[in-house]
Every structure is written in C-alpha cells, then in structure tokens.
A and B are shown apart, each in its own frame.
Chain A
C-alpha cells in the first residue's frame, strides 16, 4: 500500500484520491446499507439546497413588504378549495406566500443552528484541551464553570441570555443582533459536553509516551494538543456535534416560538410557528402547519443521521 502511494504517477499506478478512499471506507459502506441514513441525507440536502437557493426559486421575497398584496391574503393551499397559483402552500394574513416564508425561514434556522454548533465546538474543544493537558487550577476553574452550567436546564440558560441581551440593548440594535445573540445563547450551555469529552481523552493521552516524547523534544504545547491529542477524540465529538446540530435547531425554534428569538420581520421557522399559532382557531391551519412540518423534517433527518453515525462509528457494534 505504502509503495503504490509513493510511486510516481507515470508508472501507471493511480494515487488514490480522497474520493476513492471514501468510496472504500467502512463508513460509506455502512451508509449505503442504511436506507434511513440515505433518506435523511437526501432530505437534508434537499432542504439545504432549497433554503440556499430560496431567492431564486420562491415566487416572492417574503421580507419585501412592497411585494405583499393584501388581497392575496389568507389563500389556502392550492389543493384546497379557493387555492391559487403560485401560492402552493397558501398565504398568511398579510398575503405572504407560506412556501417562500418557509424556505427563507429554514435558511435562518439552519444558519443559526450550524453557527452555534461551530461556536460551541470551538470553545468546547479548546477549553477541554487546555483543561486536560495542563490540569491543575485551570482545569478546576473550567470544569467548575461547566458544572454550574450543567446544573441549570439548557433551555433556561438560553432564554436568560437572550432575554438579558435584548433587554440591555437599544431598540435599533436588538433586531440586527438577534441572530448572533441566539447563536451565542445556544452555544453557551452546549460547549460543556465537548469540553468534557475532549478533556477525558486529553488526560489519558497526555500521559502516553508519544506525547511525553513530543514534549521532550520541545514541540509547542498547542501543537501537541492540536496535532497529537485532538485527532484521538474526534469520533465521539463528531457524533455529539451532529446530534447537537438537531438540538440547536430545536432550541432556536423554541426560543423564537417563545418570543425571545428571531423578530417577526426576519422570521425563522420558530417565529413563523409563533405567528401561525395566533390563527389556530380561525381555520387558517396552513400558516402554522407547514413551518412545523419543515422544522420536524429537518430535525428528524439530522437526528437520524446522528443515530446512524453513532452506530457506524462505534467499534463495538461492527
């Protein structure tokens, strides 16, 4: 194997690209033999694509107030009586096309979910590495802060952060900063899990000979942490991050639904459900049902991929 790789290309042996390696891997094999994983991945890709291309494929821009026509309001979905094109899933009370709103909303939901996972990963991995590698008081401080965060329910921390942030910001900035605040609020209670995982394996690895050897030849601390210790704990981190992506989207939706998340003029799926919830008793069911279905589909497919990944990467289950 080693030989083929080192041969020059003109001798006929083709150096395996990352694509070839992926095609040969156990993970890809496992993926192909799990219909639920394929289904979820396709669904998620579809959602991501339609959300990314929302401005190109939707019949109207739901944020452009000039495009909204009041006489087009409260149109039911096309298959219902009174439904009309191009409002496939109907319109809300202001004449906003539900399909367009759902696609734009998915965009916001996905971005916030993804960004908060990235932020939590960055914070959790670095703090966990530092805690496990250096130990001592710094470890104590980081882990104690983590303990305190874990001793409060997740959703409560997130609500408090958004509530306080919005209360202490001036009116104009509030809506502009809504998304960053949400990303921060969701990341704060979730970094602890990554930190604990990384810390545990960093503590084990730090005592091993290869790390000792690296330290002995004066490899820099951050280099040891990043290149030697971190790769050893990426598998559980990957699974946790996938499942947390689902959780982050759920949390964002919950916060927006409660009214402490995205404002109504740049609605995420949660905000749309909050708006639709007001018309629950007036027979305008489509305003609330379609954003709900989209939200459930996103979270469901992320969770199914996470579940599959956990089993596929677990050596005990092979």
Chain B
C-alpha cells in the first residue's frame, strides 16, 4: 500500500511539475514581462534594473525553480492589468466559483440518481424513455446555450429570477457567501442549473448502467425471495451498491466543473475565477492565466489522485499497477 501511495503521489507531482513548466513557459516567453509592467516613459536604465530585479537574466532552470517555489507558496506575481497580487484576486473570486460548483454538484446528484434508478427499474416505461431522450438532449446542449435559454425564459419573459451577478453576499472571514441572503440564493439558481445539466445526465447514465448490472445479482434475487418489498430492494439494497462509482465520478468531475464554470460565469456575469480568467485572456494578463491554469489543474490532479488512492485502499486488487493494465 505504501509503495502504491508513493508511486501515485510521485506521479501526481510529476504531472503538476509538467503543468507548471507549461504555465512557466506561457508566463515567461509569450510577451516580455518587463514590457508589460513598466509604463511608456520608463527609461532603458529602469528597464534593465527591473529585468535584473525580477531575475529574468538568470538561467532557464533557475527561473523555473523560482517559479515553482513561489507558486507552491501561493505567490503568482502581480497582475499586468491592475497591478494587484494575483493570489489576492483569486482568493476574492474563489468563493463564488466554489459555491456555484457545489450547488451544481448537489443538483446533479439529487436529480441524476433518482432519474437513473427510474430508467433502470422501469426500463420499458414511457417515463424511462422520456428520461433517456432527455439525457441525450442534455449531453448535446452546450452549457452556454442552456444558460441563454434559461435567461430568456426565466428572466426576460417571466422575470422570476435575476440573469446576472451574485446578488447580496455576506462576508464570513475572507469568504463571501451568497447562500445566506434571499437575493444571493435567487441569483444562484439559473447558473447552477445550467452548469449542472451535463453533470445530471452523466450521473443518470452511470446510475442506470450500474443499476441494470446490480439488479441481476444473486443477492437481489435472494432479497426478493425473502420477501423484502420490491421498492425497498431497488432503492436500498441495489442503489447502495451503485453509489461508489457515483461518488468517484462526482469527485473526478469537480475539476471539470470548475473549468466549465468559466463558460457559465461568462453567460451569467458571475464574479468567479472563470470570469477572472476570461478577462485575463482578453487582456493577455499572463500571470493570472498561469495562476488559474495551475490552480485548476492542481484541484483536478489532487482529486483524481485522492480517488485512486481511496479505491486502492478499499479494493486491494487495484494496488498492483501491472494487474490494472494500461488504459
């Protein structure tokens, strides 16, 4: 187990170092940091001094090492656009994205699991067919289109829900939450629903596939034979055994949701990390882009590693890498 743990962690560290290399190359070689930071009037002397001070004359490896060391300590430099510390900017925006992703995940589980069970249990019913069709439509709808259509329906036509912004927020320490005010909750509904559409269908399809397999198992037949009510067998005995893959999927998808939130955030003008990133892209604000890339990839890799380790811990067969095949 320890060997597996070390190997898996080492692998994650390697991947993160590679991502960091990419971020570093973007940061360092696309656009000259000095030109981005000084104003027009700066003299040649100033520029040379700044170049020296930033350590841009050092060797590639030295600079990369410094970049990684700083990044590990949460120092991503200063934004080119508004001269603020990048980490401060991200810290401000992170709660908005986190709450959006959290609520979207909850929606995907609350809607996706029952829908998956229904399509598996009542396989040939009309309801199941409708849900199946709904799921393939859900996969095919781009999330920004869902967002736009939701705005058209619920904000423009009906006027029920706000179409942009976060509403009122309450500060708890450095964390600003929109969950505690009515306007904050109302503002969260449409973005969360539009972000979760894809995830709902994913959960639903997974639960359906797992349920179809589990319902054929002997212990299910036995429970039925013993006289346990059918519904109880389906929703307790069978469903419980399907939840582990769902938890895995949810864990692995959070990184993707954070990345995809940038689309939703753009549609709804949601002041999260994604909006920050898209603005940085339009202004070629490289430090912000590099920081966002590193942070999102870190969350992504950390969750994947965690899921893998949990799996290996639960199921010893997976510890042997060679037995797992390479896929």
A148 touching B15, Cβ below 8 Å? yes
Q: Mark A258-286, 1 if CB is under 8 A from B, else 0.
A: 11100000000000010001001101010
Q: Mark B122-166, 1 if CB is under 8 A from A, else 0.
A: 000000000000001101111111001101100010000001000
B140 touching A246, Cβ below 8 Å? yes
Stretch in A11-19, A56-64, A70-78, A149-157 touching the partner: A149-157
Stretch in A21-29, A44-52, A179-187, A295-303 touching the partner: A295-303
Q: Which residues of B contact A299 (CB under 8 A)?
A: 140-142
Q: Which residues of B contact A176 (CB under 8 A)?
A: none
* Alpha-carbon distance between A29 and B279 when the two chains are bound, in angstroms: 52
Partner of A296 from B26, B145, B156, B300 at Cβ < 8 Å: B145
Interface residues on B, range: 35 or more
User: Nearest CB to that of A291 among chain B residues?
Assistant: B145
Q: Which residues of B contact A257 (CB under 8 A)?
A: 142, 144, 263, 266
Q: Given A164-B26, A289-B152, A292-B149, are A153 and B256 neighbors across the interface (CB < 8 Å)?
A: yes
Interface residue ranges of B3-51 to A (CB < 8 Å) = 11, 14-15, 18-19, 22, 26, 30-31
Partner of A304 from B18, B136, B149 at Cβ < 8 Å: B136
How many chain A residues touch the partner (CB < 8 A)? Answer: 45
Is B318 among interface residues, defined by CB-CB distance under 8 A? no
Is B103 among interface residues, defined by CB-CB distance under 8 A? no
Q: Which residues of A contact B149 (CB under 8 A)?
A: 289, 292
A258 touching B266, Cβ below 8 Å? yes
* Alpha-carbon distance between A253 and B148 when the two chains are bound, in angstroms: 14
* Alpha-carbon distance between A109 and B18 when the two chains are bound, in angstroms: 32
Partner of B148 from A152, A164, A277 at Cβ < 8 Å: A277
Q: Which residues of B contact A156 (CB under 8 A)?
A: 259, 293, 296-297
Is B223 among interface residues, defined by CB-CB distance under 8 A? no
Partner of A303 from B136, B144, B281, B304 at Cβ < 8 Å: B136
A292 touching B148, Cβ below 8 Å? yes
CB distance from A193 to the nearest CB of B (A): 11
B327 touching A167, Cβ below 8 Å? no
Q: Mark B255-274, 1 if CB is under 8 A from A, else 0.
A: 11011101100110000000
User: Nearest CB to that of A302 among chain B residues?
Assistant: B140
Is A6 among interface residues, defined by CB-CB distance under 8 A? no
Q: Which residues of B contact A167 (CB under 8 A)?
A: 30-31, 284
Partner of B136 from A144, A273, A280, A300 at Cβ < 8 Å: A300
Partner of B296 from A153, A258, A260 at Cβ < 8 Å: A153
A295 touching B145, Cβ below 8 Å? yes
What are 26 A-to-B residue pairs whose CB atoms are below 8 Å?
A: A148-B18, A148-B22, A151-B301, A152-B300, A153-B259, A153-B296, A153-B300, A159-B281, A160-B289, A168-B31, A250-B140, A254-B142, A257-B266, A258-B278, A273-B145, A280-B151, A280-B156, A288-B148, A296-B140, A296-B141, A296-B145, A299-B140, A299-B142, A300-B137, A302-B140, A307-B136
Q: Footprint of A on B, CB under 8 Å?
A: 11, 14-15, 18-19, 22, 26, 30-31, 136-137, 139-145, 148-149, 151-152, 156, 163, 255-256, 258-260, 262-263, 266-267, 278, 281-282, 284, 289, 293, 296-297, 300-301, 304, 325-327
A156-B293, A203-B326, A300-B136 are known; give 19 further A-B pairs, CB within 8 A.
A143-B326, A152-B296, A154-B256, A155-B260, A167-B284, A199-B326, A250-B140, A253-B144, A254-B142, A257-B263, A273-B144, A273-B145, A277-B148, A280-B148, A281-B156, A292-B149, A296-B141, A296-B142, A299-B140
